[in-house]
Chains A and B, each alone.
Chain A
């Protein structure tokens, strides 16, 4: 088993509030992964309001935005044999209905002494 982080990205919707139906859909998606016993860490939602970006020379800006007006809204970690399987799990997420996307990245386990 390997661990993969699913990173959720949304477009610039800092005031976006999900509807109860959307919440329900998201909970169903998460519950489904947990029911397959493939959830390693249910992760967190990251605030889009209480956010700063720190640049060199003590430059600090408001917000989490990168230049392409996308921000990371949260993450979870799944446990699967392959990255393809993790991608399949991601495909069922309702985030695509609201214009978001998901980045899937394998967690590289740090070996001691390196």
Chain B
């Protein structure tokens, strides 16, 4: 038994996130998406009961099993109540309560299947990207509205609004969650992968200063990607490429922030902090990803991330540039264009890199100015300073502003 207060601050929030999402997924599959609130209520009540009882009696040996038993009983009670209401109170009124088996089961297989189905239910191509991630965070990852607001640096009200719309479309969508059909998998897998990709990016390059939340976002994206890998229907080369990308990126998670929470530039990172285990996993999934003929944007990004785990290779930047050339053909984005310009400078020198970057016409983009500023440092320090100033003016991220200001001060000192 685990007495004391630590469960309130550590164990319970962790368990809550992990098990709440699983429980909701299983119950939702049981009741149907129309009744997602019922599923969430049962899950919430279960956790309320846990927090009350565990505070007095201590945490049971197997907390998850305990939670599932309580959830199972609550489900049975709910269905009994509904049934009494249906037969004795409401009588001949039209029934729209779920017609389902009274027993839920929480075997590992059911949990895995339910979670997979839930990922697909949430990934509706009609929802805008940002609501998509909010919904995924709430339903798939068990994040509270405060935590989501923190991750997005948005106000709680704004997140609530976003969730409200997304949840309404989830209920109305009539997505068949009970059995995941192959046709649905085919038509929605791309949206699913995109959702996980955005989820990860939200954590990796988040506007939030909350290091823990950011790490959780990344970990959740990887966990969900792993759920896809474990099912033959969704274990495609594209899925493997995405997971490889997430592994490679995560391997540098600890190295890219210093003790004060400031961003450490790639070239200044302590490479001993790179997580070799994640790099190995990335390699494994990248090999799987390359077993077919397909080259998706995830393949290319995973390829680029792979090269970034190899600090000293001779032709590294040539490979990286070539991958960026292909990536920008698949999908234009200012970030890709700027990263490509950086790789171009690495291959052809800073002067050529500046010319290439200046063609991009991204004057209002803070990364554009920090890139050009960086490239100018060795060539023309006055111009470098002008661009760094512009970047500081444009950036919205406090962490980045700090890093850029530090750089700017160094340049001003050197300028003398």
Contacts and interface: CB of A to CB of B under 8 A. Distances in A.
A and B held together in a complex:
yes
Interface of A: 24, 27-28, 30-32, 34-37, 39, 42
Contact of A36 (B322, B324, B326, B337): B337
B360 A35 contact: yes
Given A27-B322, A27-B325, A37-B337, A32 B359 contact: yes
Interface string B318-336: 1001101110110010001
Given A36-B359, A36-B361, A28 B344 contact: yes
A24 B322 CA distance: 7
Contacts, number: 43
Given A28-B321, A36-B337, A37-B337, 14 more contacts: A24-B322, A28-B325, A30-B325, A31-B325, A31-B326, A34-B325, A34-B329, A34-B337, A35-B328, A35-B337, A35-B340, A35-B341, A37-B361, A42-B329
A20 to B, nearest CB: 10
Nearest to A28: B325
Contacts of B329: 30-31, 34, 39, 42
A32 B325 CA distance: 8
Contacts of B361: 36-37
28 contacts: A24-B318, A24-B322, A27-B322, A27-B325, A28-B321, A28-B325, A30-B325, A31-B321, A31-B324, A31-B326, A31-B328, A31-B329, A32-B359, A34-B325, A34-B337, A35-B336, A35-B337, A35-B340, A35-B356, A35-B359, A35-B360, A36-B359, A36-B360, A36-B361, A37-B332, A37-B337, A37-B361, A42-B329
Interface in B27-47: none
Interface string B213-242: 000000000000000000000000000000
Interface in B327-364: 328-329, 332, 336-337, 340-341, 344, 356, 359-361
A71 to B, nearest CB: 25
Nearest to B343: A31
A76 B321 CA distance: 21
A75 to B, nearest CB: 15
Interface in B297-337: 318, 321-322, 324-326, 328-329, 332, 336-337
A37 B359 CA distance: 10
A64 to B, nearest CB: 25
B300 to A, nearest CB: 12
Interface in B184-216: none
A42 B332 CA distance: 12
B95 to A, nearest CB: 53
A27 B336 CA distance: 15
Contact of A32 (B318, B326, B336, B356): B356
A58 to B, nearest CB: 39
Nearest to B339: A35
A28 B326 CA distance: 9
Contacts of A36: 337, 359-361
Q: What are the nearest 5 A-B pairs in CB distance? A: A31-B325, A35-B337, A34-B328, A27-B325, A37-B332
A75 B359 CA distance: 22
Contacts of A35: 328, 332, 336-337, 340-341, 356, 359-360
Interface centre among B322, B329, B344 (most CB of A within 10 A): B329
